[in-house]
Structure 1
Amino acid sequence: YDSVDQLLNDPAIDLVIVNTPNNTHFEFAKKALEAGKHVLVEKPFAATSAEAKELFTLAKKQGKNIMAYQNRRWDTDFQSIKSVVESGLLGNLMEVHFRFDRYRREISVKGFKENPLPASGLSYDLGPHLLDQIISLFGKPLNWSKTLGIFRPDSKVDDYMNIHLIYPENLNVFITANLLVANPLPAFVLHGTKGSFIKGRTDVQEEQLDKEVSPLDNEYGVESDGSEGVLVTIDEDGNKHTEHQTALKGNYSRLFDAVYAQIRNLESYPIKEEEIIWQLEILEGAAIKP
């Protein structure tokens, strides 16, 4: 195709995937819906909750589906977290920490991430992953506070983010993303009244796809040996039990299965409209800057 309009005018195309610079997601998603296409939008879904609401409303008017690409719900490590939370082995959760640590001192060549444009910065880059995982587990928080920081030399956008989310029954959730962590902390730490679970960030799918490993291969989405999560529980007699848990297999293909199921079979898409709106309300909200 020589232009976006030419692509959108092709009647053979049912689904358009918007994976463009963050600040253009709304523009291209809206054009695709107006052209009568189903749309899958890379994170962040939009720059604001108002933009997201407009897109969802337009999709309903057009009789089409618009879906958020939140692939990390199917990360190998997150499958473990979800399984442990749903098992109830930790009792009532009190404190949860999710982290995404990297060490990238240099400014990225991807200008849309590093220039102060709508939906730029680390908060809109890694924040959608962390918030989506938390919201998928616990729903909408009762309250939240957010701190953003700029620490890299010559950075024009936030490269540090910490969000404190408060949930019913005194559950405190903390999500952190940082581009200047030389020795990463565990990515997932959960403490409950009956035990704790700690796990590193061990998903290998992105690395495997870069190496052209097929999602159909047996080793795809299987974490490396030694990457197990550590589950510590206390029984009714006060005895401590430690178990090393291998993660369930991750598979991003399940997201595309869900896209197909919604478009062709009218099945409900697992990433809900309200979950995306809650996520963006937090990302666009005012932050404390150190």
Structure 2
Amino acid sequence: MPITAALVGYGLAGRLLHAPVMEAAGIEIGAVVSSRTEEIRAERPSAAVCASLEEALALPGIDLVVLATPNHLHYEQARRALQAGRHVVVDKPFVLTHDEAAELKSLAEARGLVLSVYHNRRWDADFLTIRRLLGENRLGRVFNYAARWDRFRPSVQQRWREEALPGAGLLYDLGPHLADQAIQLFGMPDWVEADVFVQREGGAVDDGFEIRAGKGPLRLSLGAASVVADGGWRYRIDGTAGSFLKRGIDPQEAALRAGGRPTEPGFGEEAAENRGILVSGEGAREEIPSEAGRWTTFYEGIVRAIRDGGEPPVTAASAAETVRFLDAVRQAAERHARVVL
């Protein structure tokens, strides 16, 4: 029997970044919690449309609850779903504090339930390529890691992410991706310094950030801004054997927005012009073909964890570390001081 899920939230995240990927992994969407009734009935006529999480939890046969809702709702909604005996996937960021993450982790363990966080960017084409290069020791010992996610959105938009709500703003939107990737590659840094700021007129929440962190001799730089027409290098990694430089962004989101599906041939493959460049210590330049991005791997891992009882592809403990890092970033920005992790 397929795993049957209730999808909570049917905005961009729920409708495009979760639902098609869930279905590609064999998960059946049995219910959707949203006010977008007509849209859901047109696109997923077999799914029950529910007005509340409680209504979805009362349905028979729901194995999994997937939360694609505003960040400040994650903790309470995940807690209620776990208490109702359902496995849970939460969109990033997991929750807003490390204490909330620890509490949900303990609740899931006590009830023998799968609790995971959709850090889908671990399966981006560029990140998979970087992991491969580091695994092959193509860069030698790494001393500098820089990752950016700049966008050109010079005007404030009418959406919850730009309203004065807990967990809104760019730090909790793009920061979890950049932080999670860095921690996956190098572990938790020893210290962090940060500037979290508002630049655009009328901005109610942060629309940019610059994070510096260190782990021994390694230096990490993570940043994002909202008024950058040409972001330049998205990744730059420097090691004793050379440097890797990468432009562009994983194509999966753009493909999903255009109506593509993860099961289609070529889905997740980057265009040749976005290939990274490996520069050796002697100056030789080598074009590096990217791995194919594959977010479906996440939900395939969720299915296995539910059926076989193993660990999910993103553990609650792993996601909690990213929350802890972002806690420290916020503290460092507020204090204008280095925070030791």
Question: What is the distance in 2 between the residues matched to 1:50 and 1:68?
Answer: 16
Q: Secondary structure at the match of 2:199?
A: coil
Report what 2:36 is aligned to. Answer: none
User: Cα offset for 1:272?
Assistant: 3.0
Equivalences, count: 284
Q: Deviation at 1:274?
A: 3.0
**Separation (CA, whole Å) in 2 of partners of 1:139 and 1:271:** 15
Q: How far apart in 1 are the matches of 2:265 and 2:172?
A: 33
Task: Name the structure 1 match of 2:28.
Answer: none
CA distance in 2, matches of 1:28, 1:233: 49
Report the counterpart of residue 222 of structure 2 in structure 1.
175
- Equivalent residue for 1:287? 332
Task: Give 3-state SS (helix, strand or coil) of 1:287's partner.
Answer: helix
Question: Does the aligned pair in 1 maintain the 2:105–2:317 contact within 8 Å?
Answer: no
**TM-score normalized by the length of structure 1:** 0.94
User: Do the aligned residues in 1 keep the contact of 2:151 with 2:227 (CA within 8 Å)?
Assistant: yes
268-277 or 242-251: which moved more? 268-277
Matched, 1:261 2:304: yes
SS at match of 1:125: coil
Aligned to 2:319: 276
Q: Which of 125, 128, 139 is the equivalent residue of 1:76?
A: 125
Q: Which residue identity does 1:275 align to in structure 2?
A: S
Could you list the runs of 5+ residues in structure 1 that have no partner in the other structure? none
CA distance in 2, matches of 1:43, 1:273: 11
Is the counterpart of residue 102 in structure 1 residue 147 in structure 2?
Answer: no
Moved over 4 A (4+): none
Cα offset, 1:49, TM superposition: 0.7
Match of 1:17 among 66, 87, 109: 66
What is the alpha-carbon distance in structure 1 between the residues aligned to residue 187 and residue 68 of structure 2?
A: 26
Counterpart contact for 1:199–1:228, Cα < 8 Å: yes
> In 2, are the aligned partners of 1:89 and 1:233 still within 8 Å (CA)?
no
* DSSP-derived class of the 1:97 partner: strand
1:231, CA displacement in angstroms?
Answer: 0.3
Letter matched to residue 132 of structure 1 = D
CA distance in 1, matches of 2:169, 2:284: 42
TM-score by length of 2: 0.80
2:80 aligned partner, one-letter code: K
CA-CA distance at 1:288 after TM superposition? 2.7
Q: 1:224 aligns with which of 271, 275, 280?
A: 271
8 A Cα contact 1:128 1:279, kept in partner: yes
Q: Is 1:144 the equivalent of 2:192?
A: yes
SS at match of 2:171: helix
Which residue, out of 242, 245, 250, partners 1:203? Answer: 250
State whether structure 2 residue 255 is matched by structure 1 residue 212.
no
* Letter of the structure 1 residue corresponding to residue 246 of structure 2: K
- Match of 1:56, SS state, is helix
| Corresponding residue SS for 1:17 | strand
Q: How far apart, in 2, do the equivalents of 1:287 and 1:155 lie? A: 21
What is the CA–CA distance in structure 1 between the aligned matches of 2:239 and 2:272, rounded to whole Å?
A: 27
Q: Which runs of 5+ in 2 are unaligned?
A: 1-49, 337-341
Query: 2:114·2:312 contact (CA, 8 Å) conserved in 1?
Result: no
Instruction: Quote how far apart the aligned CAs of 1:167 are.
Output: 1.2
How far apart, CA to CA, are the structure 2 residues paired with 1:287 and 1:102? 24
Mapped partners of 1:201, 1:269: distance in 2: 29
Question: Given the alignment of the two structures, is residue 123 of structure 1 paired with residue 171 of structure 2, yes or no?
Answer: yes
State the alpha-carbon separation in 1 of the partners of residues 106 and 87 from structure 2.
13
DSSP 3-state at the match of 2:264: coil
Asked if structure 2 preserves the Cα contact closer than 8 Å seen for 1:148 and 1:287, the reply is no
Residues 75, 250 of structure 1: 8 Å contact kept? yes
RMSD: 1.4
The equivalent residue for 2:213 is 165
Aligned-partner Cα distance in 2 for 1:270–1:142: 25
Report % sequence identity: 34
Instruction: Report the alpha carbon displacement of residue 11 of structure 1 after superposing the two structures with TM.
Output: 2.9
Secondary structure of the 2:155 match is coil
